Amino acid sequence: MCGIVGYIGDKQAQDVLISGLSRLEYRGYDSAGIATIEDDALRVEKKKGRLVNLENILEKTPLSGKVGIGHTRWATHGVPSDLNAHPHASVNREIAVVHNGIIENYMPLKEELKSQGHIFVSDTDTEVIAHLLNALYTGDIVETVQIAMGKMKGSYALGILCANEPDKIVAVRKDSPLIVGLGNGENFIASDIPAILNYTREVYLLDNGEIAVLTKDNIQVLNIAGEIIDKEIFVVDWDPGAAEKEGYDHFMMKEMVEQPKAMMEALMGRCCESSISFTGLKLNEEMMKQINRIQIVACGTAYHAGMVGKYYFEKFARISVEAEVASEYRYKNPIVDKNTLLIVISQSGETADTLAAIRLAKDRGAWVLAVTNVVGSSIAREADDVIYTNAGPEIAVASTKAYVTQVGCMMLLASYLGKLNGKLGKADAARICHSLMMTPGLIDKALETQEVIKAFADKNHKIYDLFYMGRGLDLYTCMEGSLKLKEISYIHSEAYAAGELKHGPIALIEEGTIVVAMCTQENVFEKMLSNIKEVKARGAHVLAIVQEGHEDIASEVDEVWVIPNMDDDITPIPAVVYLQLLAYYLAVARGCDVDKPKNLAKSVTVE
């Protein structure tokens, strides 16, 4: 989704902005642009398509100036085009704006501004902000921004330049993330930490309604009333290299390879000597006695981790749990009150629908526990309690290492609650802990099978659809594998509970249709065999994934991948890696842009 970067200092702003925007490319975008001020004049350059298109123009006609703002746009209002790209400038070329979010009342504002003679050149809601600031300008851009904030409805993170006040950048946040980076003789703004990680690790995390005024040597943060706020410096502990490809062809491959380490980080300090604990978690035994309903809410891959979580809560803590996608939960008047524990899962910590679900549940008195990867993210800050997944920065749009750590945290949390409510015995807790500690090694084993998976993908990459089927925990692994495949390879895919195929989807199976049968759960293994026979009878080409000991399934299917023997409860963690690799190699074989799939964004900050 859209990315923002801004710079003020002694360097040429263009260079810092382009370097920052290149680090935001992973978020997904369809146009890019920058604006600088030099000799009190505003300069803007923007271009549809990849950042390289903009760079090609800037190579011929650079924008000089030591203050500037930049943007990568993911189209919402108006098609991807040069004109709709940000920054947007006022007609008198005095004010330029980059914007993440949506101005909900942009139509009435636009009409009013048009009636005052403002001429619009784009279809965007953002252009309205530039004109509005121009119309309201009092000679003081900070004061003008405060007035404009009273008129705009919706969500916005803004970077603003004013040619009359060339020594400052103004940044504002309302319901869309924005950080301010603290440098030495230079300062920055960004929508995401990686954009400025090469320059500084010290940041202010802006809160809703806050305005930051940056000069080269100073940063002031104000509330909407204009009062100065004392902000705490947040020190980012990510290594700048963590947001680089480090020799891998794609971030997705690098992040898949990092999964054993990510799992170790997620388990560290929480799973030791056969017991499970969460330092810093406020949710305790007393509070759990008051809870009579648990809901898990998330989107996409995080929702799949939530489904696995629901299975674990019911198995280990014997608590009934509802799991729902955030975009449905928030619009259906959910039954949620002060006796509800709402668990939200989000890699980015910025997903708009998940944030809205938190706000709804909090308004009704629920206790909100967030499981997220990004320290200081909006979700982490708005929740009552946080469990960090500690996977390290995830750049590829297709989530991999975040998913396995989310599942790991769900298993830990379910066991922890089972311990609190007395439903999980010591021996089982010890077994879970021991099994979880095996997952890094098991993921390593999965990564070692890349050649086999690549060969399968190279042979089959021309397929137009692929089915996954599984039972119990395998179903969620299938759902996640299917999502991964869709998002990066654009192959149509379905994931079904194996027993459900005969109720409809089996009609789609024809000669040669590939069906991946995930068969890691011993209690339903025989049932899976029956389902395999059903699709084989309709011509399917079946690839079965089984644990060691079930190699003889080979006589029933076309291909078998044997995974190491493990506790059935932890299979969602290593088993999904085989499906991630399958999606990856199919996408590569089809020539797809794995890290930047079409139409998708890493951080979905619009509803």
Q: Is 302 in the site for ligand AGP (CB under 6 A)?
A: yes
Question: Minimal distance in Å, beta carbon 346 to ligand AGP?
Answer: 3
Question: Minimal distance in Å, beta carbon 225 to ligand AGP?
Answer: 32
Site string for ligand AGP, 196-235 (x = CB under 6 A): ----------------------------------------
Residue (of 545, 537, 541, 538) closest to 558 by Cα position: 541
Among left, alpha and beta (phi > 0; psi -120 to 50; other), residue 279 is beta
Q: Environment class of residue 212 by beta-carbon count within 10 Å: exposed (0-12), middle (13-18) or buried (19+)?
A: buried
| Cβ distance to ligand AGP smaller for residue 134 or 489 | 489
Phi, psi of 78 (to 5 degrees): 100, 145
| Cβ distance to ligand AGP smaller for residue 248 or 525 | 248
Question: Minimal distance in Å, beta carbon 304 to ligand AGP?
Answer: 8
Separation in Å, CA 561 to CA 516, 530, 550: 10, 19, 10
Question: Minimal distance in Å, beta carbon 259 to ligand AGP?
Answer: 14
Question: Can you tell me the distance from the alpha carbon of 59 to that of 47, in angstroms, rounded to the nearest whole number?
Answer: 13
Residue (of 72, 64, 11, 349) closest to 199 by Cα position: 11
Q: Is 2 in the site for ligand AGP (CB under 6 A)?
A: no
**Could you tell me if 224 and 149 are in contact, meaning their C-beta atoms sit under 8 angstroms apart?**
yes
Q: Which two tokens stand for residue 434?
A: 């021991």
Which residues inside 475-514 make contact with ligand AGP, applying CB under 6 A?
487
Q: Is 2 a catalytic residue?
A: yes
Question: Minimal distance in Å, beta carbon 355 to ligand AGP?
Answer: 9
Phi, psi of 575 (to 5 degrees): -65, -35
Q: Is 409 a catalytic residue?
A: no
Question: Minimal distance in Å, beta carbon 347 to ligand AGP?
Answer: 3
| Cβ distance to ligand AGP smaller for residue 133 or 344 | 344
Strands 179-182 and 202-205: antiparallel
Question: Can you tell me the distance from the alpha carbon of 229 to that of 41, in angstroms, rounded to the nearest whole number?
Answer: 31
Question: Minimal distance in Å, beta carbon 408 to ligand AGP?
Answer: 15
Q: Which two tokens stand for residue 282?
A: 């406020």
Between the CA atoms of 446, 450, 454 and 460, what dihedral angle is there, to the nearest 10 degrees? -10
Q: In sequence order, which ranges of 61-207 are alpha helices (DSSP H)?
A: 106-115, 126-136, 141-149
**Could you tell me if 252 and 488 are in contact, meaning their C-beta atoms sit under 8 angstroms apart?**
yes
**Could you tell me if 214 and 189 are in contact, meaning their C-beta atoms sit under 8 angstroms apart?**
yes
Catalytic residue among 2, 299, 409, 592: 2
Q: Which two tokens stand for residue 457?
A: 């993908």
Q: What is the DSSP letter of 336?
A: -
Q: Which two tokens stand for residue 484?
A: 């991964």
Nearest residue relative to ligand AGP (C-beta):
300
| Cβ distance to ligand AGP smaller for residue 33 or 481 | 481
Number of residues that bind ligand AGP (CB under 6 A): 15
Candidate segments 163-171, 218-226, 295-303, 569-577, binder of ligand AGP by CB under 6 A: 295-303
The residues, ordered by sequence, that sit 6+ positions from 112 with a Cβ below 8 Å of its Cβ are none
Among 212, 296, 299, 360, binds ligand AGP (CB under 6 A): 299
Question: Minimal distance in Å, beta carbon 326 to ligand AGP?
Answer: 8
Bridge partners for 5 per DSSP: 70, 190
| Cβ distance to ligand AGP smaller for residue 127 or 487 | 487
Q: Is 1 in the site for ligand AGP (CB under 6 A)?
A: no
| Cβ distance to ligand AGP smaller for residue 160 or 495 | 495
Among 3, 9, 166, 300, binds ligand AGP (CB under 6 A): 300
| Cβ distance to ligand AGP smaller for residue 161 or 398 | 398
Site string for ligand AGP, 118-147 (x = CB under 6 A): ------------------------------
Catalytic residue among 47, 486, 596, 602: 602
The alpha carbon of 174 is separated from its chain's Cα centroid by a whole number of angstroms, namely 19
Candidate segments 33-41, 296-304, 493-501, 542-550, binder of ligand AGP by CB under 6 A: 296-304
Which residues inside 341-400 make contact with ligand AGP, applying CB under 6 A?
346-348, 351, 354, 397-399
Question: Can you tell me the distance from the alpha carbon of 61 to that of 45, in angstroms, rounded to the nearest whole number?
Answer: 9
Q: Which residues form the interface with ligand AGP (CB under 6 A)?
A: 299-302, 346-348, 351, 354, 397-399, 487, 603-604
* Residues carrying an active site annotation: 2, 602
